[in-house]
Structure 1
């Protein structure tokens, strides 16, 4: 084949006519896609017009003027966090990985008694005012990072190393949270601090075994104290109860004896008064009452006439007793 068979004749006027339309269409498409902005459900859109704040838009589809307006999406409904002394990264299988190397300068700090300690902590915060977050402070996240480190070093520097490592951890976290929020309010950066969590607090590696031994001894001491208090709370109240019970029994016994003695004395006095008024009747009544108590305790009773002199009736007593049913 000859080369002339592959030649194509293109009309320059046709190219000029349709190329301009294609370019215009591309420009329109680009402007349309540039004008449509989607704001997520946890976000808030801040629109900047010619470098000046213009408006704040809600989640959903929003429109801006291309090449004139710019939108910044701020996650106002999401809790954010900053990590100090370590970083947690997500691996490909979805598990979080802990990375310590390279961040020792953030966590190593001096305590009030001139000891070094390694403090790892997390600051959880929210953006509550997107306008202040963007315009009141330059690079608000970096500023918050610096403020958090400064607040932690200040609070730790006012306490001993034992407080930082043991009993004062919660109080330190609370103090840092309060101080950091005060600094955010002063800077007007539109951030609210939700929580400050001390992730881990350790002494420097060369002295860690000694500090661990001290902590174990303190924990053992607390355990022994708690056991002693438990024994005290179990034994002492029981002993007090037994003592109170013995006292009450003694008082009841004494009251019974005293009341019984008083009753006997009053009974004797009443009998004595009756005897004084009528001696014979009283004597007879006492005699009869005594017999009434004594006679039921006697088996066979034999009543004879004091004038009887015949002993024959007494000879058959054993026989009569044997035939008595």
Structure 2
């Protein structure tokens, strides 16, 4: 009876030793006599006691690695990178899990290979570019690395989720020269903007001055036309008045030369009032006055005939 109880206890112990719990987010790889046998999904599983062994528990969750390394550009400038690599097992298929379990001897070897592969890809890309181009090529560097190592990692059973270039720096001397270049470019841009503003100001001022001259010229032309029209009207009125006065004096049997003499004396009066201190010399002799009156009478006769 005691022996039977011992046997039952041993059987129960053996059965319980075959129970395996696999945590969520993990897959267990089972081997028997050193050869791959099968995989165990998350949850409670059973393996053959003493014969089947858990070779490796593989996490299918995302993993990350921080990288710090140096690269050299085409123009021999040192570039320092700080980056973060995010990767994971492709899926939980049996072939994928077998690759993950048996491609590398341990996790450390896998990490070292991934790091060296990523660093090598970035270094080969940077070596084809100049120092001045690197800061503007973050996206291109990431895409290049993904294209280079994605296929390789898939052969190992992994997939590159993301590569983030958190920091890209240069030697202090290069940083100083880059700052000087930026400062000089800013000064150049400011000078160009100032020059453009001055050119616009000068152009607008010239246009305004030209428009003002044009307006003034048009106004002067219109004023001259109006003055000419006024003078013409004045002369017409004067001629008409003289003609009417001469006709009336002729009808009254009076000498029309009195009109001319009156105009001549009126002109002298106007000269005196409007001369502003200027001196006008007139020949007041009888002969000259007679000559002037004859000329004025001749002009008047011509106007009357016309």
Give TM-score scaled by structure 2 length: 0.54
Tell me if structure 1 keeps the 8 A contact 2:64–2:87. yes
Which residue is 1:128 aligned to? 90
1:110 deviation in Å? 10
Q: Residues 22 and 44 of structure 2 are in contact (CA less than 8 Å); yes or no, is this contact kept in structure 1?
A: yes
Higher RCO structure (Cα 8 Å, ≥6 apart)? 2
Secondary structure at the counterpart of residue 193 of structure 2: helix
1:289 aligned partner: none
Cα distance in 2, alignment partners of residues 39 and 145 from structure 1? 26
If each structure's helix is expressed as a fraction of its own residues, which one has the higher value? Answer: 2
Aligned with residue 147 of structure 2, among 178, 193, 196:
178
The runs of 5 or more residues in structure 1 that have no matched partner are 1-16, 85-106, 203-211, 284-325
Q: Is the 8 A contact 2:73 2:130 kept in 1?
A: no
Provide the secondary structure at the position in 1 that maps to 2:148.
helix
1:272 maps onto 2:228 in alignment? yes
- Tell me how far apart the structure 1 counterparts of residues 27 and 98 of structure 2 sit (CA, whole Å): 15
Using the alignment, how far apart are the partners of 1:120 and 1:260 within structure 2?
Answer: 72
Residue 245 of structure 1 pairs with residue 214 of structure 2: no
Aligned equivalent of 1:62: 44
2:26 to 33, 37, 43: 43
Equivalent in 183, 187, 200 of residue 231 of structure 1: 187
Query: Partner of 2:62: helix, strand, or coil?
Result: coil
1:70-149 matches, cutoff 5 A: 73-81=57-65, 123-130=85-92, 131-136=94-99, 138-140=102-104, 141=107, 142=109, 145-146=112-113, 148-149=115-116
What secondary structure, in the 3-state scheme, does the structure 1 residue paired with 2:18 have?
Answer: helix
Gaps of at least 5 residues in structure 2 are 240-306
- State the structure with more CA Rg: 2
Are the aligned partners of 2:74 and 2:128 in contact in 1 as well (CA < 8 Å)? Answer: yes
Q: Distance in 2 between matches of 1:111 and 1:254?
A: 58
Task: Provide the C-alpha distance between the structure 1 equivalents of 2:223 and 2:110, rounded to a whole number of angstroms.
Answer: 100
Q: Distance in 1 between matches of 2:74 and 2:232?
A: 98
SS, match of residue 176 in structure 2: helix
Coordinate RMSD, CA, aligned: 4.8
The correspondence for 1:193, drawn from 155, 160, 163, is: 160
- 2-structure distance, mates of 1:270, 1:249: 31
